[in-house]
Amino acid sequence: MQGNEDRAGGVVWRFKDGDNYYVARANALENNVSLYYTTRGSRHTIKYVDAPVAANQWHSLRAEFAGKRIQVLLDGKRYIDLEDDHISGAGAIGVWTKADSVTAFDDVSWGGG
């Protein structure tokens, strides 16, 4: 991840539209992993956790979710494990970046049925 203003990349799920979704993010500028939900276009922080996110290196970011349970893993280590029900039901998955972040994504997959 590169950038001057931000160095972040993440995954999105339960994406209903551009104004309603969850995002788990890894940020190399802040060295943290975070979980947000966006409703009606307004972003809300659920949790920030300090985590080593080296810039210019590949990382594995994984969001596991079922019902209210959400877990976020960075490089195989679980950093966030909680319940949240702000956005329910089916939705799309995808990738996410912010500001001037230069982030590459590879091997994006969904394990649902």
Q: What is the pLDDT along the chain (113 residues), one digit of tens a residue?
A: 555 666 789 999 999 999 999 999 999 999 999 999 999 999 999 999 999 999 889 999 999 999 999 999 999 999 999 999 999 999 999 999 877 777 888 888 877 64
Domain spans, the chain:
8-97
pLDDT of residue 112: 60
- Per DSSP, the residues of 82-103 read EE--SS-S--EEEEEE-TT-B-
Task: Read off the pTM.
Answer: 0.89
pLDDT of residue 99: 76
Q: CA-to-CA distance for 72 and 80, rounded, in angstroms?
A: 5
pLDDT of residue 103: 83
**What topology is assigned to 8-97 in CATH?**
Jelly Rolls (2.60.120)
